[in-house]
Every structure is written in structure tokens, then in C-alpha cells.
Amino acid sequence: MKRKEARERARELVAKMSLEEKMTQLRYNAPAIERLGIPAYNWWGEALHGVARAGCATSFPQAIGMAAAFDEALIGQIAGIIATEGRAKYNAYSAQGDRDIYKGLTFWSPNVNIFRDPRWGRGQETYGEDPYLTGVLGKAFVRGLQGDGEYLKAAACAKHFAVHSGPEAVRHSFDAKVSVKDLRETYLPAFEQLVTQAGAEAVMGAYNRTNGEPCCASKVLMEEILRGEWKFEGHYVSDCWAIRDFHENHHVTKTAAESAAMAMNTGCDLNCGSTFLHLMEAYEQGMISEDRITEAAERLFTTRFMLGLFDETEYDDIPYTVVECEEHLAVSEKASLESMVLLKNDGILPLDPGKLGTIGVIGPNANSRTALAGNYHGTATEYITPLDGILQYVKDHNTSGKRDVPLRVLYSEGCNIIEDRVEALAFENDRISEAMIVAEHSDAVILVLGLNETLEGEEGDTGNSYASGDKQDLLLPASQRALMHALSQTGTPVILCMIAGSAMDLSFAEENFAAVLQCWYPGARGGKALAQLLFGDVSPSGKLPVTFYRDNDPLPDFRDYSMKGRTYRYIGHAPLYPFGYGLTYADVSVKKVQLQDESCVLADVCNEGSRDTCDVIQVYAEYCESRDAPPNPRLCGFARVHVKAGETVQVCIPLDPLTFKVVNDAGVRIPVRGKVRLYAGTGQPDARTRQLTGHECAYVETER
């Protein structure tokens, strides 16, 4: 349904409501208005990487893992599946009269905040540190979720607007101070694209203040930019209980009624929380008008009409049986395969089961279901841990008739995921002793370490023990570091598989282990994908969407939102593993690149290896003579390409429409002047990537 028609129907319906009835509809848990035939509706839904918190659903890799695939089409396909399963659940739940939380069609996803600092616990929910990559993938997610039918298949929400990426511990009172250049160059571009190009139906405000204004009542962000410049016509929702922070933590108001009025008058239409229970008090004190209440209600009912919640739609017949169907699970497994990033390989990978007698699988995340999911997840019917995946792969190989002597798998947990202060140290040492015994009896060790949602995530989540969801540093917990050191002394080659949602310090593994594979939170069936990669059924093809640092690297203060020294665009030293980096089992490089026009470059991609592979060809722009450009080349295009062994293919890589523009200190995007160099390769044109891959990027120059 077109917005104009939906808005007219919304006006007609809202006009029949009393003032008090209109106010009740501005809360996330809107009650029924039976006299008008309006059922209750709960606006709160989550879907970062699968329908979350509403029972069983297909579990995809966490958002940061999906970003590592650098696969725009796959992100759109995943979002379409999420919408399909969301519709199936809505149809089934509403038929039972169940209209409770998490069971609607308004999903508060995607999260397009910039993962500017590796310590941020919620960075796992984002698409990484780059504004262009975040915008491309975020648009694909929104389009896939909302669909292209007569009605919205589901409603997407771009969050958290804006300048929001930690610290979690102080987010309810924090003021993120940011220059207008950084605001326009880094923190806003993805939001702008989701609103103006993908048509995101909702925008969610952040908890913090930005340059003094609370983000759920910011005249600059909400009135001047979102509604003014970008012409946003959807609805604005507060983060949960963020409006309460106005008077309790930010102290920009004194009472709940003042906070409700401040948010409402600035354009916040929907309150996740309880502060809008004070709207009548604010109205009676003359702080808000009925016209503004009416406008908010009309915006919200416009969304409900666009979803077809009062009509028969093409989605009404989607059956519950599509949830976790074979087709959806296959896409989840594909996403897991594409998301994992090979960071080091001394030649041990892929493993040849014909040359191994015993494999040791060790580590606290080796057989952990919790580690598969990340945060904001649903429930899977089946979980395949790394141990499960390896055991099944070995079982299939042993029964294939290719071996006379079965390949063995030995397992040890090795240690707790984090040192348990209650647990006796002797018991912890006993676990490490078992791990060393397993290693000494194995031809190779697959060591699965990392974090889970109890160690990094959102402030206030049950179990978070690291600075309210943030990491205090980039080190693994002491128990895991002790295990790594012990295993490095055994003489058995170790393959580290890191399950975590952020960049950890992997310098010890880089120096002491045979291979390193970043697995992120790979989804409920991630162990199957991991086994396929380890044994070479599929070549790794993921790339890092964030920079990996060493723990002693000079990171800026966590509370400093300046981009100086942050992310690959502004870093001033060589990282451990650069943004965009990732190895394959082949030998892919770009031999030639040419600028076809301002929207596309042509790259000749050559695979000089002996294996077929997918790889991600990336284009970076270096502004050689511009004082307004970031100091390092920035990503402005990418494409996944399949290249057979010994083959050279030409690929057309679309360019960011803003490739030949830069943002000046006044926050204005202006045409670049002078020489621009466009690099194309399997990673950045930086010295560390050249050192790790052994390849230079091809480049072409153009004068502006």
C-alpha cells in the first residue's frame, strides 16, 4: 500500500479516537480499542540475525559475521527470510489471539551504528567500522525485510540514531561530542542511505546525548536532518526507557511529564518504555498539543496500514511450517561459510583427513551452544557446535570407505570460558592438563576459544561481567590465555578458531599457532560450516569488517568520539590484521584495473592457485591532494567473485556514488579536487595487507 493511501486511512481512523485513546497508541504495548475494531499491537520486535525472542527461528550469523561476507545479495536474502518467518509467526500467533511482545511485524533492526572502538560490547550487532559497507549492507537488509509487494512484508528500523557506540556503562547519561565533519562523514551516512534510498519505515533514537541534545529529542538530528533534509516520513521510536533518562540521568528535564513533552514535541512518535504514560499530565499542563498527539498516532497507524494489518494481504497464507525449513537452513549455512575469515595459514589448512590419525578438539567454545548465537537471538531446533560439526564430518569420512583405520577425535574443554573465582585453581589446572594430554596424542589441535553474549553485549543483559557489556581490553580471559600458552608448548600444530563478536588481540596466536580462523558468532549451525572450511570442502572467503589491533596498540579514549586514530581510515600505525583482510585456499590477485565511468571500475581478477575459490575484490579511493579526505584510502566499492583455479575473470565493481566527493570541516560534502587513485585488490592498499598476502593492489589514477 502506498504511503499516501495509508496515511489517509490512518487519518480517518485516528479522527474517531478520543485524546486519551490516541495517547494509548503511542506506547510500544498499544492496547486494543475494541469499539473501533483495533486489536492490541506490540511494536517491540527484534531481528538482527533471525527473528529473535519469539520462539524457534532460523539462526543466522550475528550481524558482524554477515558483514564479513561482504555479500549484499546474501544480506537481502537473509532479511527476506526473516520477514517470511516473522509473517509466519504473526499469522500463527494472532490466530491464537496472542499479540504479546516480540510477536509483531515491526522489527527494530538493523543496527547501523559505526563500530568505532573494538571494546564496544554491542559492536557485534553492527556491520563494522566502515560507513560505506554499513550503508550498502543496511540498505540490502531493509529492502529484503520490507519486501517489494503491495504491502510491507515487515517494517525495518534503523537504529540507534545517532553517534552511538559505547561506552555501555554510561550510555544513559553520556554526551557524545562530535565534530560536524565526523558526524557527516562517519556517523550519519548509513542512516541517510537507509532512509532516503531504502525507505526504512522507522528510526530509533539512541540513549545518549549528541552534542548536548538527547537523541530522542534532538532538534538537530530529528527535525533539521531526519525530517528536514532527508524528508523522512516514517515513525520515530525511542530506545527502551530512553525518555526516562531525560530527567533521571541527562537532567535536561525535571519531571516525567516534561520528558514526555520534550520527546513528543521534537518528533518522537512511539515510546518504548513508560514515560508516555505521563502524556495526559503534560497535555493538561499545556506542554503538548492535541495536534502533535494526533500526528504521532497517524504516523503509527500509517505503518500498520502499510503492513496490511487491517486488510487481507499476500502474506496471510504464509504457513508456520516455513520456520526453519530446509531452504532457510541452507541459506544460514551459506552465510556461516561466507562469514568466517582466515587470518593465518602456514599451509596446515585445509586439513587432509587421509593424512591424520587423531584430531584434538579443545576449548570452552568448542561445544558451546551459547557461543553460536551472539546476542538478540531466537531459539534453534538444532545446534551444531564446532565439536558436533567435526565429529559428524569425521564420521562421514570414516564411513566413506576411504580409510582402513578410523580417524579419531579427542575432546577436552580445556578451561572455563572465563576464570571462575569460586572454582579451585587445581581443578582449572586439571582441565589444562587434560588439554595437553589430548594435544600430545593428536596430529593437530583445533582450539576453539573466544567470548559469548555474557562477556560482550548490551549493558544490563543478564550475565554480562565485563564493564556492563563492553570489554575492558582486547585480551582473552586469563583462563584461555593460560590454555593457549600451555598448548603452544606441546609441539602439536594448533589451529585457533575464534568465536567472538569483536576484534581480540590475536598476536600470540599469530606468532605461535599454525592457523587462525575468525568465526564470529556463526549461527546455530555454525559448527557444520566450520568443519567444511577446516577440511577444505569450501575455501574461506570472508573479510574483516573491522580492524584487529594488538592489545598494546595506542587506542584513543573510549569516550572520545573523534575519528582521529580510529578505524582503518584514520589509523596511524600498522594493525595486527587490517580491515578488509582475509585469506583463501587459492592465490587471487587483481592484475589490472580501469575506470569505466564514475559508477564502475573493471578489474581483471586472476587465480594463480590450484583451488577454486570465492574472493571479495575491494576498491579503495586515495585522495592524493585533498586536505578534507581521510588520511588513508577508503572503501568505495566491492564485489564477491568466484574464480576457478588458473582462471582470469573480469568483474565490474560498482562504485559508491560519493566516491569523488569529500566532507570538509564545515560538514559539507564537496567535489574532490586533484588526483584520485583507485586501488583494486583482495584487501586494502596498505603495507600490512601486502605483507600478509604478498600481493600489491592494482590501481588507476584520475584527475578531478
400 compared with 479, residue with greater pLDDT: 479
* Mean pLDDT computed over every residue of the chain: 96
Which DSSP state fits 367?
T
Render pLDDT for 599-641 as a digit per residue (tens, 0 to 9). 999 999 999 999 999 999 999 999 999 999 999 999 999 999 9
Chain mean position to CA 414? 30
Residue 270, CA distances (Å) to 9, 673, 678 in order: 19, 44, 44
pLDDT of res. 465: 47
| 3-state SS assignment for residue 507 | helix
Q: Is the pLDDT of residue 403 over 90?
A: no
The C-alpha cell that represents 268 in the structure block: 518522537
Render pLDDT for 117-168 as a digit per residue (tens, 0 to 9). 999 999 999 999 999 999 999 999 999 999 999 999 999 999 999 999 999 9
Render pLDDT for 476-502 as a digit per residue (tens, 0 to 9). 999 999 999 999 999 999 999 999 999
Residues serving a catalytic function are: 239
By percentage, how much of the chain surpasses pLDDT 90?
A: 95
Render pLDDT for 272-302 as a digit per residue (tens, 0 to 9). 999 999 999 999 999 999 999 999 999 999 9
- What is the Cα–Cα distance from 380 to 323, expressed in whole angstroms? 10
Q: Following DSSP, what letter does each residue of 368-428 receive, concatenated?
A: -SHHHH-SS--B-S----HHHHHHHHHHHHHTTT--SSPPEEEEE--S-SS--SSS-HHHH
Residue 3, CA distances (Å) to 42, 194, 227, 303 in order: 21, 17, 16, 8
pLDDT of res. 426: 53
Helices 425-440 and 478-488, axial angle in degrees (round to 10)? 30
pLDDT of res. 367: 98
Exposed/middle/buried for 598, CB within 10 Å: 0-12, 13-18, 19+?
exposed
- What is the Cα–Cα distance from 246 to 255, expressed in whole angstroms? 9
Render pLDDT for 527-560 as a digit per residue (tens, 0 to 9). 999 999 999 999 999 999 999 999 888 899 999 9
The C-alpha cell that represents 233 in the structure block: 516520513
pLDDT of res. 468: 67
Nearest to 160 by CA among 70, 260, 48: 48
Which DSSP state fits 185?
I
The domains of the chain, with CATH numbers, are: 1-30+158-306 (3.20.20.300), 337-569 (3.40.50.1700), 588-703 (2.60.40.10)
CB atoms within 10 A of CB 73: 11
- Dmax over CA atoms of the chain, in Å, equals 85
For residues 198-207, give the mean pLDDT: 98
CB distance 105 to 316 below 8 Å: no
Q: What is the dihedral of CA 45, 48, 50, 54, to 10 degrees?
A: -30
476 compared with 402, residue with greater pLDDT: 476
Residue 164, CA distances (Å) to 69, 130, 186, 427, 472 in order: 24, 14, 12, 42, 18
CB atoms within 10 A of CB 401: 7
351 compared with 463, residue with greater pLDDT: 351
